[in-house]
Structure 1
Amino acid sequence: MSPILELRDVSVTYRGGGESAVRGVSLSLGEGETLGLAGESGCGKTTLAMSVLRLLPKSAHIEGQILLDGEDVREMTFGQLRAVRWASASVVFQGAMHALNPVRTIGDQIAEPIKLHGRGGEDLRERVAELLAQVELPADRANAYPHELSGGQKQRVMIAMALACEPRLVIADEPTTALDVVVQAQILELMRRLVAERGIALVMISHDLSVLSASCAQLAVMYQGRVVEHGPARQVMTRPQHEHSKALADAFPTVGDPEFRLTESASRGPALLAAEDIAVDFRGRSGQVVHAVRGVDLAVEEQEIVALVGQSGSGKTTLARTLLGLQQPTRGAVRYDGVPLPTSTAGLREYRRQVQLVLQDPTGALNPRHTVYEAVAEGLRIHGITDDERGRVAAALEAAELRPAEKFFGRLPQELSGGQRQRVVIAGALVLEPKVLVADEPVASLDATVRGEILALLLRLRVERGLSTLVITHDLGLAWNIADRVAVMYRGELVEVGPVEQVLLDPQHDYTRTLLAAVPSVERRVA
């Protein structure tokens, strides 16, 4: 049986871009087969995938052959290409949050490719309902707008659109990025089921080897535009041969690594930051009371890393905002070093010098018109700290491992990689020399190697600066590798709190077991 997709010595070069983004890649995929493309950001995996349907910008020059059902995509006219897109091959684009039109209903957007391919004679309403059912969404979601859906639901809508014209090949670009572990597991199971039931060929792109090994039979690892390793997914995951594959498979640092261990003299005192019986209620649009946080007790001690884990919507971020004084609790108290959170503006400003927030999305957190220097210096200026501003900014950037610091002073956010932007955000917190960091999903959108570097930075700051950190995450693998204690949040309540080994190796609550069951793999950390 001839392959559905065959790449023969494919290379892609961007005009003015220097070296090739993709270099001499040859791969093939048949009916019902699944291929995972792994690698760091910038390795060429998305460029390679988008070249299959010639979705690259005009500045891209493609060499080699891209055969789709035996036809070379490079030689197709625009009309032929238009007939192939959606019908023979489709794409689930990265970032469902931004890929859907915010002013059109879900039903209209799913129906669009059907209309484009002249299938309007079908009962569109019935076909849309059928597609929603295939991705396990109720038919009434067709009348909803994107902002009314959760992240997981939006991702399912993107999959429904990709299946609308019954293509033989589906390319899924980072389909689970920033989704919590339970929704991620549901999306991956959905993709596996669709492959089994419909015999489609699936190319899945991710920086997470564990996600790909749980979903794909074959795995190709890309590095600097080349495929450096290709084989059965489990083999590549557990017995990688190339150095880069080994780095991806072992990208996480661990709290047990010798360089991150605290000295024997380091002893923790009373809790630095504590929530005492915190409850936060909101009133919904229809007047009903929403209990976002319910009676939470949580403490972060000196030089301790606590991971607050749970699904999206469990109340993690609301609790973090309350700890930072950005949200008033309905009941309970927040204490810093044993003292209740101040209520005055001046008192809160001084408090926030000690407890700093690291936001989830570094791109959204940084003003695109401000240089790195201005972004880091902003906190100093807000707090009226005028002595040695340049030296303080340089020291913060150095501590965030942006070296030499002066090299980054004049750069704008768009001139930085995702990992560098996250380091700038961390430097903006460090410049005030806080005692506690509250890090909200600090590595959710970063590739595996950069994610490991940022987590290693947090561990190093704990040793070198004595920082305490509350890490908010849906990633149990992250918690397993860097946390001293884990607090599991479910529907606004803490259902389980304890040392990381106790909670993750011997979970007592059913919800914790559900989270663990949804994780593709959790490797035992260094003892």
Structure 2
Amino acid sequence: MSLLELRDLSVHYRGARGEVTAVRSVSLALEAGRTLGLAGESGCGKSTVAMSVLRLLPRNARVEGQVLLDGEDVQGMSWGRLRAVRWAAASVVFQGAMHALNPVHRVGEQIAEPMRLHGVTGSVSALLDQVELPARAARAYPHELSGGQKQRVMIAMALACSPRLVIADEPTTALDVVVQAQVLDVLKRLVAERDIGLVMISHDLSVLASTCDRLAVMRDGVIVEEGPAREVIASPTHPHTQALAAAFPTVGDPASRHAGPAVSSPSSSASSPSPSPSSSSSSGPVLLRAEGLRVDYGSTKAVAGVDLEVRAGEIVALVGQSGSGKTTLARTLLGLQRPTAGRVLFEGVELPRSASGLRAYRRQVQLVLQDPTSALNPRHSVYEAVAEGLRIHRVEGDEATRVAEALSHAELRPPELFFTSLPHELSGGQRQRVVIAGALALGPRLLIADEPVASLDASVRGEILALLLRLRRELGLAALVITHDLGLAWTIADRVAVMYRGELVEQGTVEQVLLSPQHDYTRTLLAAVPHHDVPEPDRTGTP
């Protein structure tokens, strides 16, 4: 008997405009000690499938078909029986550990809560040890832990009542590659040691490939491809599976390399997809330079003597783990953070300190934030969001024309169609394009993009990266892209700078840094990147 079996599962949501079908006739099975990956983009129905297992769907959901846990239909369970099953028989690691934990309770109390409710005896320290956290972490509040530590707390909580089934919904989203690899190793080891069944949900096929025995790919509520993970990844038959696999490039694969020369580099060939280390796309005049930049927060050296430059028409990727100092460096380059020592120069002139001087500088250097949902005012229309910078900088000319041009450059066409739209009416990719359009409206020469695709689906990620490349090609726009994603760096960057504990430990062309890394930390980052072509899953529990 399967630990989990879905038989012809369909889920419909009732709304003001009638009923919408989110999941159509899904049938899947999972045995104990095995891992099933559920892949697909936002809105495909994968989280709806997961939430149906424990009847966590909202009241307006109507479910057809069967969800069997150890042969018992979840839909027919009484409320009392369902409460007993949750946590004890099956549990969920929810997406976004940053928001899933109660900020005013210590994490040890939160791990102990399901044990107390279910009358389970156990040790919080032992659970923390299973997810490779020290016992002292129980006394911490969520804000005192890193993203990876919070995710491990969520896993410990899911294991608190010794369930036989764990559902992990995007457990590594927004984690850097090293922490992601650690979390995935923890999950794989727990499956092997505790003989649990694991359902892993993600839009990243490389993550699922490195973790799962079987893989099911969803689109528009339907399973479009399903089979052993190695076979699905190696030889995808459905176009959607092929598109998902192609959206996450392999470092070193020439087919994944899309960086091309900018218009400001006349000696470069526009047909060359892979600039050589001597590519002239990196030989333009220096636009932005940091010299001996240092930022101290008390005794903490957030940025420790950084020398960095971005040339006209060049894309530089600044890579490193969370906490390495990347965002602090970006804030200092933008004049939002005053350095403790060193200086920043734009076209050879040191950044001004006056408000008016900095305002003029920021017309030339614009920031694109990581999370477009947070970056946009939910009450402002697209027009207002893009026009805001024009008004702050008192840019002359017809405002509506400039807003329309910026939206067109950001591939929101026809622009007038989006003028009155509010952020919640747009997709994630459209919201990110609005943020980019707001930056483009001022006619900058350099974009500083902080994790510009971290929260986006696979296909949308590719579209945004293609947009950045087109802006470089057509407008000669330079970019400093801050990321923990080495695949992104390989795809679009001319040069890579690797940051570790506030220092730039390695710099060079993409080929030099990612194909022939000289620093141990760079090698660690590359070793942590999940790959599509993984070996058979390890049954010993050894990472």
Normalised to the residue count of structure 1, the TM-score between the two structures is 0.95
User: Is 1:435 paired with 2:431?
Assistant: no
Query: Match of 2:80, as an amino acid?
Result: G
User: Is 1:222 paired with 2:218?
Assistant: yes
Question: Residue in 1 aligned with 2:179?
Answer: 183
User: Is 1:280 paired with 2:280?
Assistant: no
Structure 1 residue matching 2:21: 3-state secondary structure: coil
Mapped contact 2:303–2:329 kept (Cα < 8 A) = yes
Q: CA deviation at 1:269?
A: 2.3
**In structure 1, what is the Cα distance between the partners aligned to 2:108 and 2:284?**
57
Structure 2 residue matching 1:215: 3-state secondary structure: coil
Q: CA deviation at 1:258?
A: 8.9
- Equivalent of residue 506 in structure 1, options 507, 516, 524: 516
Query: Match of 1:49, as an amino acid?
Result: A
**In structure 1, what is the Cα distance between the partners aligned to 2:443 and 2:231?**
45
Question: Residue in 2 aligned with 1:286?
Answer: none
Query: Match of 1:282, as an amino acid?
Result: Y
- Equivalent of residue 410 in structure 1, options 420, 426, 437: 420
User: Is 1:5 paired with 2:20?
Assistant: no
**In structure 2, what is the Cα distance between the partners aligned to 1:256 and 1:90?**
40
Mapped contact 1:477–1:522 kept (Cα < 8 A) = no
Q: How many residues align?
A: 512
User: Is 1:369 paired with 2:379?
Assistant: yes
Mapped contact 2:259–2:492 kept (Cα < 8 A) = no
**In structure 2, what is the Cα distance between the partners aligned to 1:259 and 1:149?**
40
Question: Residue in 2 aligned with 1:348?
Answer: 358
User: Is 1:389 paired with 2:399?
Assistant: yes
Q: CA deviation at 1:447?
A: 1.3
**In structure 1, what is the Cα distance between the partners aligned to 2:288 and 2:397?**
29
**In structure 2, what is the Cα distance between the partners aligned to 1:261 and 1:352?**
22
Question: Residue in 2 aligned with 1:63?
Answer: 64
**In structure 2, what is the Cα distance between the partners aligned to 1:426 and 1:470?**
14
Mapped contact 1:21–1:225 kept (Cα < 8 A) = yes
Mapped contact 1:66–1:74 kept (Cα < 8 A) = yes
Structure 1 residue matching 2:210: 3-state secondary structure: helix
**In structure 1, what is the Cα distance between the partners aligned to 2:315 and 2:168?**
35
**In structure 2, what is the Cα distance between the partners aligned to 1:145 and 1:387?**
51
- Equivalent of residue 208 in structure 2, options 209, 212, 220: 212
Mapped contact 1:255–1:482 kept (Cα < 8 A) = no
Question: Residue in 2 aligned with 1:338?
Answer: 348
Q: CA deviation at 1:387?
A: 2.0
User: Is 1:237 paired with 2:233?
Assistant: yes
Mapped contact 1:255–1:483 kept (Cα < 8 A) = no
**In the superposition, relative to structure 1, how do residues 521 and 439 fare at CA in structure 2: closer, same or farther (>3 Å)?**
same
Mapped contact 1:36–1:205 kept (Cα < 8 A) = yes
User: Is 1:50 paired with 2:51?
Assistant: yes
User: Is 1:136 paired with 2:135?
Assistant: no
Structure 1 residue matching 2:193: 3-state secondary structure: helix
Structure 2 gaps, min length 5:
250-254, 269-279, 534-543
**In structure 2, what is the Cα distance between the partners aligned to 1:259 and 1:227?**
37
Structure 1 gaps, min length 5:
284-288
Q: How does 1:102-501 map to 2 (within 5 A)?
A: 102-119=103-120, 122=121, 127-251=123-247, 256-257=257-258, 264-265=266-267, 268-283=283-298, 289-501=299-511
Query: Match of 1:371, as an amino acid?
Result: S
Using the aligned pairs only, state the percent identity. 72
Mapped contact 1:47–1:56 kept (Cα < 8 A) = yes
Name the stretch that deviates more: 231-240 or 250-259: 250-259
User: Is 1:39 paired with 2:49?
Assistant: no
Query: Match of 2:22, as an amino acid?
Result: A
User: Is 1:78 paired with 2:93?
Assistant: no
Q: CA deviation at 1:238?
A: 2.2
Structure 2 residue matching 1:35: 3-state secondary structure: strand
Q: CA deviation at 1:502?
A: 1.1
Mapped contact 1:271–1:302 kept (Cα < 8 A) = yes
Spell out, residue by residue over 1:120-167, the C-alpha distance to the aligned partner (whole angstroms, 9 max, x if none). xx3x6xx11110111111111111111111100000000000000000
Query: Match of 2:245, as an amino acid?
Result: A
Structure 2 residue matching 1:308: 3-state secondary structure: strand
Normalised to the residue count of structure 2, the TM-score between the two structures is 0.92
